[in-house]
Amino acid sequence: MTDINVKEINLADIPQQQLKDLLNFPCSFTFKVVGKNRPDLMDDVVVVTQKYAKGDYNPRQHISSKGTYNSVSIDIIAENIAQVETLYVELAKIDGVRMVL
């Protein structure tokens, strides 16, 4: 078994314009969309994602303990930083979404 050095990066500590410098495109990128718990949230996340990153997706969801909120995680293969930035904006426009991480 080998010991792997993993460097943890807190994105909040890095200026936004440097995000592109951390990624080598194409790359795997995960979006986490947090919003009000409603039946179609996961479907809406997939529809918006497919507009900007074609593919078959298997999103994961987690509903809060009180059932008020739902977080949907979706993985894409990002082609460039513009695609990532566009998806942040477009996913945030979905009805009931509180934040996109």
The CATH number of the domain holding residue 91 is 3.30.70.260
φ, ψ of residue 76 in degrees (nearest 5): -125, 170
Instruction: Flag whether 75 is in a domain.
Output: yes
Residue 85 has pLDDT above 80, yes or no: yes
Question: For position 8, what pLDDT does the model report?
Answer: 59
Instruction: Flag whether 10 is in a domain.
Output: no
- Matching residue, tokens 């529809």: 47
Q: Which residue has the higher pLDDT, 48 or 21?
A: 48
Instruction: Flag whether 53 is in a domain.
Output: yes
Instruction: Flag whether 9 is in a domain.
Output: no
Enclosing domain of residue 68: 23-100
Long-range contacts of 45-50 (CB under 8 A, 24+ apart): 45/72, 45/74, 45/91, 45/94, 46/74, 48/87, 48/90, 48/91, 48/93, 48/94, 49/74, 49/76, 49/87, 49/91
**What is the band of 95 on the pLDDT scale with cuts at 50, 70, 90?**
very high
Instruction: Flag whether 59 is in a domain.
Output: yes
Instruction: Flag whether 14 is in a domain.
Output: no
Express each pLDDT in 27-68 by its tens digit. 999 999 999 999 999 999 999 999 999 999 999 999 999 999
Q: What is the pTM of this model?
A: 0.80
Instruction: Flag whether 7 is in a domain.
Output: no
Mean pLDDT of the chain: 88
Region for residue 67 given its phi and psi (left: phi exceeds 0; alpha: psi -120 to 50; beta: otherwise): left
Number of domains in the chain: 1
